[in-house]
């Protein structure tokens, strides 16, 4: 091996993060095992074999280090069989849809591009569905819908919730690190990561429509609004525990879900609007939609931003998520109302997340 090649290899390995404990021994073992059929080589051939094994071991260690940092996926052995994924249907007027079904990401965009089968812990679409931010391993990764990686940032733990600002300039995300969940804020290009709160709940933050503030759930179960420009916090006057937050697509109206239902209002005051068990809630076509489980199917109640009732309609199945453009129903057939879009999934699938951009 030439001295120039040695210097280049040393430079690459010096910049790579430390591999997992035992990676060096495992890599060397696999490299030598692969060369085991070579029997009684001559001295020159033996030196060449050992040199080649050392190079393979170093490259595998480097690959393991990059994989630990979230920059590369490495697997040994036979290639696993493709995992069946859910075929998503793109709603009208939507740029893209992303869902986590059975722990695997599925993405469809109006450009015809899509991702299927990547194991992720959380995901969120950027505005106009140009990118998908996802938790992969212990990293926050931004990918184009065709699978090309834009950037990867070590998160220091498992990413459990992601929210992309409407203007695409920032991402709020929650990392499960140790025995607590930590809230971070990072630029949309993967730089300037900042820790906002070191004790929060694993709930997806919700951005205000102007991208200047977002709501999240603190470690004590209270809803908190963080002002990005002033770097200040405001605790919302709603009794804990809060289990979900959802800013209206425009304005300052914030919906909060809890064990006793859903409340709706602005920072200074909130109105309790649902006392029954809530299956899901969110904003649908500019109105707050609250799904309440029924005897044979869920009922979705609609409310104006001020809290006034705007009617209801049934959903034949379990409502898993409500987004501004569709309702996700499991074991569903059809919605009786024609003003929204229904996305059905197989009855044996586990839907953990859904977002439409």
| Interval 311-354: pLDDT, tens | 988 887 788 888 887 887 776 544 444 445 555 555 566 777 77
What pTM did the predictor assign? 0.73
Residue 89 counted as domain residue: no
Residue 86 counted as domain residue: no
Higher pLDDT, 122 or 314: 122
- Domain containing 33 equals 3-68
Q: Are residues 44 and 102 in the same domain?
A: no
User: 180 falls in which pLDDT band (50, 70, 90)?
Assistant: very high
DSSP assignments along 236-275, one per residue: -SSPSPEEEEEE-SSSS-EEEEETTEEEEE-SS-EEEEE-
Torsion sign (Cα): 279, 280, 284, 290: positive
Residue 73 counted as domain residue: no
Largest CA distance in the chain: 88
Residue 80 counted as domain residue: no
Where do we find the tokens 């920032």? Answer: 170
- Point out the domain boundary residue: 48, 68, 88: 68
- 132-136/139-143 β-pairing: antiparallel
Q: Are residues 311 and 238 in the same domain?
A: yes
Question: Percent of the chain at pLDDT above 90?
Answer: 40
Q: Are residues 198 and 56 in the same domain?
A: no
Q: Are residues 318 and 243 in the same domain?
A: yes
User: 101 falls in which pLDDT band (50, 70, 90)?
Assistant: confident
Q: Which residues are CB-neighbours of 218 under 8 A, at least 6 positions away?
A: 197, 199, 200, 201, 224, 235
Give the number of domains in the chain.
Answer: 2
Q: Are residues 37 and 182 in the same domain?
A: no
- Point out the domain boundary residue: 68, 88, 107: 68
**Mean pLDDT, rounded, for 53-59:** 42
- The pLDDT of residue 17 is 47
User: With contact defined as beta carbons under 8 Å apart, do 68 and 20 qualify?
Assistant: yes
Question: What is the CATH classification number for the domain harbouring 208?
Answer: 2.130.10.10
Q: Where are the beta strands (DSSP E) in 8-122?
A: 96-101, 104-109, 114-119
**Mean pLDDT, rounded, for 187-201:** 97
**Mean pLDDT, rounded, for 110-135:** 88
């Amino acid at each position: 091996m030439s001295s120039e090649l040695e210097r280049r290899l040393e430079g690459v390995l010096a910049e790579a993060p430390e591999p997992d404990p035992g990676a060096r021994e495992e890599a060397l073992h696999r490299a030598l095992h692969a060369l085991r059929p070579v029997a009684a080589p001559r001295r020159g051939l033996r030196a060449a074999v050992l040199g080649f094994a050392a190079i393979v071991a170093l490259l595998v260690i480097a690959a393991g280090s990059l994989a630990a940092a979230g920059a590369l996926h490495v697997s040994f052995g036979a290639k696993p069989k493709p995992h069946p994924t859910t075929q998503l249907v793109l709603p009208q007027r939507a740029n893209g849809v992303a869902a986590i079904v059975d722990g695997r990401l599925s993405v469809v965009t109006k450009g015809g591009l899509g991702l299927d089968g990547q194991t992720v812990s959380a995901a969120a679409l950027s505005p106009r569905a140009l990118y998908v931010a996802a938790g992969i391993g212990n990293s926050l990764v931004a990918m184009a819908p065709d699978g090309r990686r834009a950037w990867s940032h070590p998160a220091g733990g498992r990413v459990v919730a992601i929210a992309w600002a409407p203007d695409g300039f920032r991402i709020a995300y929650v990392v499960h690190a140790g025995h607590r969940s930590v809230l971070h804020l990072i630029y949309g290009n993967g730089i300037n990561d900042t820790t906002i709160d070191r004790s929060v709940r694993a709930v997806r933050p919700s951005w205000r429509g102007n991208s200047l503030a977002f709501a999240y759930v603190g470690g004590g179960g209270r809803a908190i609004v963080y002002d990005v420009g002033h770097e200040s916090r405001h605790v919302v006057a709603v009794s804990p525990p809060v289990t979900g937050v959802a800013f209206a697509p425009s304005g300052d109206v914030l919906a909060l879900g809890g064990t006793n239902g859903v409340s709706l209002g602005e920072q200074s005051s909130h109105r309790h609007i649902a006392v029954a068990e809530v299956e899901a809630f969110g904003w649908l076509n500019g109105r707050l939609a609250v799904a309440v489980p029924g005897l044979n199917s869920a009922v979705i109640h609609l409310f104006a931003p001020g809290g006034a009732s705007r009617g209801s309609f049934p959903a034949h199945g379990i409502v898993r998520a409500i987004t501004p453009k569709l309702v996700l129903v499991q074991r569903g057939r059809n919605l009786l109302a024609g003003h929204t879009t229904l996305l059905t999934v197989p009855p044996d699938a586990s839907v953990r997340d859904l977002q439409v951009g």
